[in-house]
Every structure is written in structure tokens, then in C-alpha cells.
Amino acid sequence: MFIVNVEGAICRDDQWLIIERSKQEEHAGGLLSLVGGKVELEGNSSNILERTVIREIFEEVDVKVKERLQYIHSTSFVADTGEHVVDVVFLCEYESGIAKVKSTDEVEAVSWMTAQQVFNHPNAPDYLKESIRLAEKKRETIRFQSV
């Protein structure tokens, strides 16, 4: 069995919303991350991944994103706790809100960073860099299609 986790890649003015995970977190504490969280059990449910990422973003950093999400990629990994996780990343369109630490037990700090700043940051794990790289590519594809 897997834990299912979702993350939102939110870009505004060519900067990505990045959090520093709380040092209290069991997995990847103190590292940079996209905003997201675990999917909760709901029984029979529609759009559970999308609703979860929208909810987690608002709960953790007080930002609202539009409901039209774009799938970026999924991965699996074994967390520091030994749990097997499937992680799904969505490209999210910023709607409103001033990003701030709202959930102090999960988030240490919030910042907007360019892709290059993420790539160069010493606390940015490779999987975050890959998610940002793929999100940048998806954004370019969407821009090209809308021209």
C-alpha cells in the first residue's frame, strides 16, 4: 500500500512558490519543497487529488489557486519513516493571497524563487529541481499553445 501525496507547482511573475519544510517534519525536514500534502481517506470521491492539492496550498500558505490544474508528473519513493509514497505534482495557476506560513508544524518559511534560485539552493533536493524543471517545460508548452 502507498501513501498518496500531492504537490502544487505555483508560478507567479516567473517565480515559484517554495516552502522550507518544518524541521519537525518526519520526512525531509528543513529541505525546500513545493506545497502539498497527503490525500485523506474519503470513501468514494471525485477529483480527490485536485481537491487535496488546492486545500493543502490554502491550509499551509494561505494562497488560493484556480481549479484548472495541469498534471506534471508522478514519482514514488520511500519516506524517511519507511512508508512507501506516490507523489503527484500539478501545475497550479495562482489566484489570490499573500503567501505566508499558516501551518507552522509543517512549514518553516515561504518564498517566491526563480527556477535558477531553486536549482542553485543548497537545501533544494534533486526531486524538487526535477519537478521545477518539468513544470517550467509544461508552462512553456501551455504558452506556446495559447499563442
This model's pTM is above 0.75: yes
Paired sense of beta strands 3-12 and 84-96, if any: parallel
- The residue type found at 51 is R
Distance of CA 33 to CAs 42, 43, 85, 121, 142, Å?
26, 29, 15, 11, 23
Domains of the chain: 3-145 (3.90.79.10)
Residue 145: what pLDDT?
Answer: 65
pLDDT tens digit sequence for 102-123? 988 888 999 999 999 999 999 9
pLDDT tens digit sequence for 43-99? 788 899 999 999 999 999 999 999 989 999 999 999 888 999 999 999 999 999 999
| Secondary structure of residue 57 in the 3-state scheme | helix
